[in-house]
Amino acid sequence: MDAARRLLYNRAGNSLFLHSQGVEESASKLALRYGVDAKKASLAGLLHDYGKIYSHPVLYQIALEHDLGDEFCLKEPALLHAPVGAWLLKQELGIEDEEILGAIRVHTTGAAGISCLAKIVYLADCIEPGRDYLGVDDLRKISGVDLDKAVFVALERTIRRVLDRKKILHPDSVLFRNSLILALTKNNQELHKYEAYQYNPAKEEKENTPE
Ligand SMILES: [Fe+2]
Ligand SMILES: [Fe+2]
């Protein structure tokens, strides 16, 4: 862990290093709360953005050479650092733990059926202490109570931002969202009772206010 931290310190810019440490801290706390291996969560949190120490053209080239990203990831720089980063961690740091690599691989899009560790890294990325946006404190509170619900709220925010910016919405994010709804409603077909479906224009307006 210390070697990984040193490497990141030396190679990442200051803000990326601070963000990575923030995600490490939040992932560790979430892991303890939800009964997941805290060491794995810490390491995955610390290294989740490892791919970002490389420029997009380099990531793109590596992805092409090693068949790492689908057409959507290749098109969208914000997505590509996740699958390529996981690959780089295996090559450069010798990380072999598939649970850690898998969590890092999906940390930008999510995916249906991902591990608890992957959900924790996804959420920690959104609530780490350095994050400051409208609703983050509410999300931090939900994070301490219900992992799936917190991940769902974080994912919906991300999806809204992607739509607002006319960016590519990765299909895995849609599948992730649907799988969370099914988990949250326990497949009981009562989706209309779930609060996310109770459309409230005033609330929507507030949530969509640019930060
Ligand atoms: Fe990232
Ligand atoms: Fe991140």
| pLDDT over 50 at 81, yes or no | yes
Mean pLDDT of 82-97: 97
Q: What pTM was computed for the model?
A: 0.88
- The answer to whether 158 touches 147, Cβ cutoff 8 Å, is no
Percent of the chain topping pLDDT 90: 82
Q: How far is the CA of 20 from the centre of ligand 1 (A)?
A: 9
Q: How is 22-37 classified by DSSP, letter by letter?
A: HHHHHHHHHHHHHT--
Taking the CA of 81 as reference, the closest ligand is 1
d(CA 36, CA 66): 31
pLDDT of residue 151: 97
pLDDT, average across residues 143-156: 95
**d(C-alpha 150, C-alpha 173), whole Å:** 15
Q: Give the model's pLDDT for residue 2.
A: 85
Tell how far the Cα of 56 is from the centroid of ligand 2, in angstroms. 15
Distance 19 CA to ligand 2 centre (A): 7
Residue 210 has pLDDT above 50, yes or no: no
Structure tokens, 163: 């739509």
Q: Give mean pLDDT, residues 188-203.
A: 50
Q: How far, in Å, CA of 14 to CA of 185, rounded? A: 41
Cα Rg of the chain, angstroms: 17
Centre of ligand 1 to C-alpha 80, Å, is 9
Distance 205 CA to ligand 1 centre (A): 27
178 Cα to the center of ligand 2, angstroms: 23
Nearest ligand, CA 82:
1
The predicted-structure confidence for 96-142, as pLDDT tens digits, reads as follows 999 999 999 999 999 999 999 999 999 999 999 999 999 999 999 99
CATH class assigned to 2-207: mainly alpha
Residue of 197 and 95 predicted with greater confidence: 95
Task: Show the tokens assigned to 157.
Answer: 């925010």
For the chain, the domains span: 2-207
Compute the distance from residue 32 Cα to the ligand 1 centre, in Å.
22
Mean pLDDT of 185-207: 53
Neighbours of 132 (CB within 10 A): 8
